[in-house]
Each structure stands twice: as structure tokens, then as C-alpha cells.
Structure 1
Amino acid sequence: MSTLQPTTLVLPGYLNSGAGHWQTRWEALDPGLVRVQMPDWEHPSRDAWCRALDAALAAADAPVRFAAHSLGCLTAAFWATGYASAAQLAKVAGALLVALPDPAEAHFPRAASGFAPVPLARLPFPTIVVASSDDPYGGQAFSRNCAHAWGSRWIDLGARGHINADSGLGDWEEGRSWLASLGPR
């Protein structure tokens, strides 16, 4: 088991995470977190986003954790099941996947391409899926199904919308604790 402190790659969703979002607040608390800059926040492409994640992971020292939100969660799942090499996968200690969007939902961004169908293969690293009971972008049944298929721990956060800046989470210490539980293997 590694004793190195993991690098956390922050994977925002569609349009990036602005001020007040828990991801942005976490970066302010820990400047060591690395936000993965996607090539086009307004027109997400699965292929481009997965390649950006792969490049960020290649530049990071192991171990690495993902703190993903919304479309960032799907990016992590697609990357792990179709883009990653064995060496890249070995670097990943775990992923916190928050507010999975369902490409079949009416609110899913139509500007996003290639994010359906969602891969339902077991992910090769520990994961925690966090869902809200009133998320307009993805229902609990969808997130629970993904969590089951991926081998993830599933957490119901209650009525918190899309678990973003509008959810009133502040620095979201509980989420930081879940992320920390995904330490090096």
C-alpha cells in the first residue's frame, strides 16, 4: 500500500463549476487539487473529454483520486471502461462521483455528444456514487443502477437538487470525508 498523499483531479460537468460550487470551494481549501480543463465546456464531447482526462492523469503522480460532478462522472466512467491503459488505471485510488446525469433525461444537455449509452461495466477502482432525490438531471433509479453495475457504494443525499452551488452545501465536509476514504490502495 502506498503512503503517498493522492492527487485529486477535479472533474466538473457541463459549463464547468463556478463560484460557490463545492468543487470550486474545495480547490480554494486545498490548492493541491487539480481541475481538469476540458477542451469545450459548452459543447462536451465524450472523446475529447476522455482524452483530456487521460492527459491530466498522465501528468499526475500516482496515486490519483477523482472528485467528479455530473458530466465529469460519466467522463470518468467512459474513460475507465474504454480509454484508459492498464498503467493509467493502476494510478487511480478511487472516485467520488456526484450527481450522475442520465442522457435519457429531458434536461440532459443536448450540446453534449457521445455520452450514451452509459457504460455499465464494473469500474476497476473504488467508487462512491452520491445522488439527490430531486436531481432534475438524473433520477435515483438511474444512479443506483449505475452504482450497482460499477461496484460503487451508493449514497442518498436527500433532496439537494443537482448537488451544485444551488444546493447550499458550503464546503461540504461530508463529501470531503467520502473523498478522503478513497485513499491509496
Structure 2
Amino acid sequence: MPLNCPQFRLRWGRWRLILAICAGLAVPCVLGAIALPNFMTDGLRAKSAEARFNLQGIRSFELSWFDEHGTLLPAGPVPGAVPSGTRLGEPAQKVEFVPDPGFQALEWKPEGRVFFQYRVTLTGPRTAVATARGDIDGDGRLAEYRLVISPDDRRTVVENLTPDHY
């Protein structure tokens, strides 16, 4: 069949249309497959910023308490249970933060509801460790952050104890 025959052009035109439609559908699917996991990870990193920010706040209040009273104050864990989803795979829901006597004495309370459980544990007469634990993605594995508090050590680095987990 000659290439300039109308039937050949019609058949090739149909295939070109089908290929164009397939390519048009494939490009967004591939881009979505690449972008969606990155988007979800960024959302989880944003949630984990709550823990870093609140641990810095706890540190400031603990050092103020130390300046006034000469000791650090244990507090928490608050909330009583680590916030998580109601089913495996379901993202954690924010829960109400009701301060225990330790956090009440420090006069520290985060703004609104929280994704993490907070605790201050004394590790010596002049040192304490503030921790935040939460299951922000609902997979059953906890993300945990720690900040050492000491009037002798003014470092403010929040350690991620689960670096592979946000």
C-alpha cells in the first residue's frame, strides 16, 4: 500500500491520536507517583517541627525555674498516652494537652492540641532530659526527640532519636 494513500494516513492518524492520549495520561501519573511520597514526607516533617519547637520552650521554662529555685523540675508525661491514630496506618490526631503538676509549676503549656507526648526527666542535680514522643504517621513506630537541659550547657540542639522516622 503506498504511503500517500488515504487509508494509510487515516490508520496512522488514529495510532498517533492513541499514542498522544497515552503519553498525555502517562506523564501526570509518573509525576504524581514521584511527587506524592515527597509531599507526604514534607507534611510529616512539618508535624515533627511541633516537637522541636515545644522542647525548646520547655528548656527555656526549665532554665528560668532553675534560676529562681536552684533545681530543675521533672514533669510529664503529658498527655498520658502517646498520641497516635485509632487504627494502624491512620495518621495521629492532635490531642488536648492537660498539664500535670510539673508543667503547671513551670507554667508551660503549648498552644492548642499536640501530636506528641512531652516529659522532663531529671538525670542529675543540674541536668534533665526533655523528650517528645509521637506516632505522627500511624505506622506504630514512634518518632522521638530529645533535648538535654542544663544551666552549665547552653546548647539548644534537639536530637532526633529516630532519624529514619521524620
Q: TM-score range by the shorter chain?
A: under 0.3
Bigger CA radius of gyration: 2
Q: Using structure 1 for the length normalisation, give the TM-score.
A: 0.24
Q: Structure 1 or 2: larger helix share?
A: 2
Q: Using structure 2 for the length normalisation, give the TM-score.
A: 0.25
**Which structure exhibits the higher relative contact order, with contacts defined as CA atoms closer than 8 Å and separated by 6 or more residues?**
1
